[in-house]
């Protein structure tokens, strides 16, 4: 992707002391759009970036330090309009970088930040501008970047060593400003990545960021601050806790949010529940095993009353949902399908041992293969992009200075540059290299690291299911008296089900797993061999195709190198020297390169 530097037309700074979050971009300036370069004065020439005219006037004796009627210098005008060449020229002619000017007593750096000109901010810092200076409203550079929600500038200033907990004149930190003024969850989520002090209070009202967020009704900020672990007990100058403020503002939803959080935190201090939480995954697996068995047991009861069985099954389901809601935390809820899958493995093997074994041979290899590849998929790193805090700061500086701090290629959650084909997974809270999907059944991300194991897992799951269904058919023909030819389809069906409800139950579970695993395996193999795409990329292209007027081809992508080469690349297999697999480290690949001479390719 290309890096573009944005250049706006001439701007005048804020003339009013408003604490508005919105910038003044887009407002029509008081100046006409065209000026005569040969006659206009130096202020207008600076605003419009007429470098030659400015140089001419300065050479003729104009003092670059001379402020105009509004106490604004030429450097201010050059900075707010992103005239980089003029800024360099004026500084070389003796302009003072940190000159205060304008109604708000701001430096040129403050003006550049209000407008969101990252290249200008970098240039001024390079020329020695001091980002810790405060303007007439008491805001330092970081505060202004936060107020106007210019996230690349926030990232750059912090990477350059500005403290995330810098206070303004009233003792407000950037976090408090965001809680109070920002719209949407993104600015707050972004700021929290830099580990700000959550429980700092301002000088005047002694409010924490949470107090401010509640007072201004910023629901998403409250949610994020609670999740980050902000204290609920700090009292402000009037002795009010965050909950008191929520009551006062009569915001029932926020009262509920805070009370829920309080309840959760108290529970965490309870000794018994602590143990439950520690072994939560194990507990989930055990209970899922018991529930699966209990369902089969109820169906296997010798009673003929379907009413009794139905009632028991319903109460089982009710008990299960109650258990899940009371004991399983939100974090581990995503492992519920995994627990079901593992219990299915267990009861499928048990059924084989105790119902089928004398008649039909047990094939350990398939079950062992299934367990092995499940374990490998689950435990192998899918390709999380890892960086240290220092590396992240270096990244931000390097990318900004190269003009590439583009939020399409930069993950604002991980603060890393995203490699090609990587995606940020919300469940894992990380960027994953050559991301395919977050698998429901393994509870893990599928990426470059474990995609291969995942396919083999699907293959062995299909095989296990098919083998078990074969065993079921054999069992029925050996143990059930019904005959397909004599009794008709319906009679045959009811006879076999009642012949052994347990076997029917397990075989229907096996059937379910076989269906989704084989279907998904087919789709995966098709994508890998014929499209050279991941599931995520294919979904994106399908969505693009629906909304785009131009035809979007799934086959003409830079990653599709033909069926055999795609397979050789995926499995990294040369097939006895017939192919030459491309070796690409997808955790470090940032630029598109031409694997093949493809033209008219779409970006994915
Ligand atoms: Zn990420
Ligand atoms: Zn994930």
For residue 424, with 0-12 CB atoms within 10 Å meaning exposed, 13-18 middle and 19 or more buried, which class applies? middle
Whether the Cβ atoms of residue 222 and residue 214 lie closer than 8 Å to each other: yes
Torsion sign (Cα): 38, 39, 43, 44: negative
Tens-place pLDDT, residues 24-71: 443 334 444 556 667 778 888 888 888 888 888 888 888 888 888 888
Distance (angstroms) between ligand 1 centre and the Cα of 175 equals 21
Alpha carbon of 391 to ligand 1 centroid (Å): 15
| Predicted local distance difference test score (pLDDT) of residue 458 | 95
Q: How far is the CA of 417 from the centre of ligand 1 (A)?
A: 9
Report CA(194)–ligand 1 centroid distance (Å): 14
What is the structure's pLDDT at 352? 84
Name the more confident of 271 and 283: 283
Q: Tell me what the mean pLDDT of segment 253-279 comes to.
A: 81
Reading the block at residue 445, the tokens are 């991300």
The upper half-sphere exposure of residue 102, i.e. CA atoms within 13 Å in the direction of its Cβ, equals 25
The share of the chain scoring above pLDDT 70, in percent, equals: 88
Q: What is the pLDDT of residue 404?
A: 65
For ligand 2, the distance from its centroid to the CA atom of residue 282, given in whole angstroms, is: 21
Q: What topology does CATH give the domain 1-162?
A: 1.25.40
Query: In angstroms, how far is CA 208 from the centroid of its own chain?
Result: 27
Residue 420 Cα, ligand 1 centroid: separation in angstroms? 13
Output the CA 392–ligand 1 centroid distance in Å: 12
- Is residue 468's pLDDT more than 80? yes
Tell me the CA–centroid distance for residue 386 and ligand 1, in Å. 10
Q: Residue 235: is its pLDDT beyond 70? A: yes
Q: What is the mean pLDDT of residues 1-9?
A: 37
Q: Cα of 438 to ligand 1 centre, how many Å?
A: 14
Cα of 428 vs centre of ligand 2, distance in Å, is 4
Cα 532 to ligand 2 centre (Å): 21
* Distance from residue 425's CA to the centre of ligand 1 (Å): 7
Q: Is the pLDDT of residue 373 over 90?
A: yes
Distance 541 CA to ligand 1 centre (A): 21
Give the residue with greater pLDDT, 251 vs 31. 251
Kindly identify the ligand whose nearest atom is closest to the C-alpha of 416.
1
How does 336-347 read in b/e, with b if 16+ C-beta sit within 10 Å? eebbbbbbbbeb
Distance of CA 536 from the midpoint of ligand 2 (Å) = 12
The token pair at 141 is 């550079």
Interval 321-348 mean pLDDT: 82
> How far apart are the CA of 182 and the centre of ligand 1, in A?
22
H or E element, residue 105: none
Distance 384 CA to ligand 2 centre (A): 9
**What does the pLDDT look like over 144-160, one tens digit per residue?**
998 888 888 888 898 88
Q: How many Å lie between the centroid of ligand 2 and the Cα of residue 478?
A: 46
* 435 alpha carbon – ligand 2 mean position (Å): 9
CB 586 within 8 A of CB 448: yes
CA gap 232, 226 in Å, rounded: 8
Instruction: Report ipTM for this prediction.
Output: 0.97
Q: How far, in Å, from the CA of 379 to the mean position of ligand 2?
A: 13
Q: What is the pLDDT of residues 306-327, one digit of tens each?
A: 788 888 888 888 888 887 777 6
459 CA from centroid of ligand 2 (Å): 22
In the reported structure, the alpha carbon of residue 458 is separated from the centroid of ligand 2 by a whole-number distance in angstroms of: 18
H helix or E strand, kind and range, residue 438: strand 437-438
Domain boundaries, the chain: 1-162, 168-269, 345-381+450-604, 389-446
* pLDDT beyond 80 at 576: no
What spacing in Å lies between the alpha carbon of 385 and ligand 1's midpoint?
A: 8
Q: How far apart are CA 513 and CA 520, in angstroms?
A: 11
pLDDT of residue 30: 43
Of all ligands present, the nearest one to the C-alpha of 443 is 2
Q: How far apart are CA 155 and CA 400, in angstroms?
A: 9
Nearest ligand to the C-alpha of residue 383? Answer: 2
User: Would you say the CATH fold of 168-269 matches that of 1-162?
Assistant: yes
C-beta separation of 21 from 424 below 8 A: no
Tens of pLDDT, residue by residue over 558-567, are 788 888 888 8
Of 358 and 118, the one with more pLDDT: 118
State the distance from the centre of ligand 1 to the C-alpha of 396, rounded, in angstroms: 14
Q: pLDDT for 486-526, tens place per residue?
A: 667 777 777 777 778 888 889 999 999 999 999 999 999 99
Cα angle: 174, vertex 143, 394; to 5 degrees: 80
Return the pLDDT at 176.
Answer: 92
Ligand at shortest distance from the CA of 427: 2
**End-to-end alpha-carbon separation of the chain, Å?**
11
Across 196-219, b (16+ Cβ under 10 Å) vs e yields: bebebbbeebbbbbbbbbbbeebe
Of the listed ligands, the closest to the CA of 386 is: 1
Ligand number with the minimum distance to the CA of 381: 2
Q: Residue 377: its pLDDT value, please?
A: 92
Is the CATH number 1.25.40.20 carried by domain 168-269? yes
Range 409-429 average pLDDT? 83
CB atoms within 10 A of CB 500: 20
273 alpha carbon to ligand 2 midpoint, in Å?
27
Q: How far is the CA of 443 from the centre of ligand 2 (A)?
A: 8
300 token code pair: 């296997």
What's residue 299's pLDDT? 80
Task: Please give the distance, rounded to the nearest whole angstrom, from the Cα atom of residue 452 to the centre of ligand 2.
Answer: 16
Q: What is the mean pLDDT of the chain?
A: 82
Which listed ligand is nearest to 190 at the C-alpha?
1
Q: Which ligand is nearest to the CA of 425?
A: 2
Weakest-pLDDT range from 21-25, 464-468, 495-499? 21-25
Determine which of 88-102, 169-183, 466-480 has the lowest per-residue pLDDT on average: 466-480
Best CA proximity match to 202, nearest among 191, 210, 194? 210
Q: Do the beta carbons of residue 229 and residue 198 sit within 8 Å?
A: yes
- The rounded Å distance from CA 10 to ligand 1 centre is 36
Q: Which ligand is nearest to the CA of 415?
A: 1
Calculate how far, in angstroms, residue 429's C-alpha sits from the geometric centre of ligand 2.
Answer: 7
CA of 382 relative to ligand 1 center, distance in Å: 14
């Amino acid at each position: 992707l290309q890096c573009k530097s944005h250049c706006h037309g001439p701007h005048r700074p804020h003339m009013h002391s408003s604490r508005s979050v919105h910038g003044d971009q887009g407002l029509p300036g008081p100046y006409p759009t065209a000026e005569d370069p040969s006659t206009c004065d130096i202020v207008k020439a600076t605003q419009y970036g007429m470098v030659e005219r400015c140089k001419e006037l300065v050479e003729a004796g104009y003092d670059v330090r001379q402020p105009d009627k509004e106490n604004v210098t030429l450097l201010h005008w050059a900075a707010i309009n992103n005239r980089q060449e003029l800024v360099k020229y004026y500084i070389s002619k003796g302009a003072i970088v940190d000159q205060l000017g304008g109604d708000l007593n701001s430096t040129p750096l403050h003006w550049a930040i209000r407008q969101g000109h990252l290249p200008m901010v970098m240039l001024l810092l390079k020329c020695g501008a001091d980002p810790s200076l405060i303007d007439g409203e008491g805001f330092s550079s970081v505060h202004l970047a936060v107020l106007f929600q210019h996230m690349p500038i926030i990232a750059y200033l912090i990477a350059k060593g500005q403290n995330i907990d810098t206070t303004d004149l009233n003792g407000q930190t950037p976090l408090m400003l965001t809680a109070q003024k920002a719209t949407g969850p993104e600015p707050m989520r972004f700021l929290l990545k830099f580990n700000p002090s959550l429980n700092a209070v301002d000088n005047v009202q002694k409010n924490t960021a949470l107090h401010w967020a509640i007072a201004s009704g910023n629901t998403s900020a409250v949610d994020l601050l609670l999740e980050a672990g902000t204290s609920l007990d700090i009292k402000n100058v009037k002795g009010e806790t965050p909950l008191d403020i929520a009551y006062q503002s009569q915001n029932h939803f926020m009262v509920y949010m805070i009370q829920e959080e309080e309840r959760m935190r108290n529970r965490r201090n309870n000794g018994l529940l602590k143990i439950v939480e520690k072994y939560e995954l194990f507990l989930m697996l055990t209970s899922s095993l018991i529930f699966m068995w209990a369902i089969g047991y109820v169906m296997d009861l010798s009673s003929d009353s379907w009413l009794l069985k139905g009632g028991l099954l319903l109460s089982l389901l009710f008990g299960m949902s109650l258990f899940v809601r009371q004991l399983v935390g939100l974090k581990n809820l995503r492992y519920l399908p995994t627990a079901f899958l593992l219990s299915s493995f267990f009861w499928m093997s048990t059924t084989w041992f105790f119902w089928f074994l004398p008649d039909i041979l047990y094939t350990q290899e398939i079950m062992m293969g299934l367990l092995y590849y499940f374990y490998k998929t689950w435990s192998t790193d899918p390709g999380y992009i890892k960086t240290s805090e220092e590396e992240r700061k270096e990244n931000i500086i390097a990318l900004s200075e190269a003009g590439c701090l583009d939020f399409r290629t930069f993950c604002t959650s991980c603060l890393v540059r995203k490699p090609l084909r990587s995606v940020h997974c919300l469940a894992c809270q990380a960027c994953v290299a050559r991301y395919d999907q977050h698998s429901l059944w393994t509870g893990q991300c599928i990426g470059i690291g474990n995609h291969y194991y995942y396919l083999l897992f699907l293959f062995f799951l299909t095989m296990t299911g098919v083998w078990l269904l074969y065993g079921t058919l054999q069992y029925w023909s050996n143990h059930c008296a019904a005959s397909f030819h004599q009794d008709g389809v319906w009679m045959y069906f009811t006879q076999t089900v009642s012949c052994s409800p347990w076997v029917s139950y397990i075989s229907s579970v096996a059937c379910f797993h076989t269906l989704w695993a084989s279907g998904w395996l087919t789709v995966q193999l098709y994508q890998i061999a014929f499209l050279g795409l991941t599931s995520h990329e294919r979904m994106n292209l399908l969505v693009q195709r629906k909304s785009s007027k131009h035809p979007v081809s799934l086959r003409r992508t830079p990653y599709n190198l033909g069926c055999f080469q795609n397979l050789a690349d995926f499995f990294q297999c040369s097939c006895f020297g017939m192919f030459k697999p491309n070796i690409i480290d997808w955790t470090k690949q940032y630029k598109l390169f031409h694997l093949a001479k493809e033209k008219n390719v779409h970006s994915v």
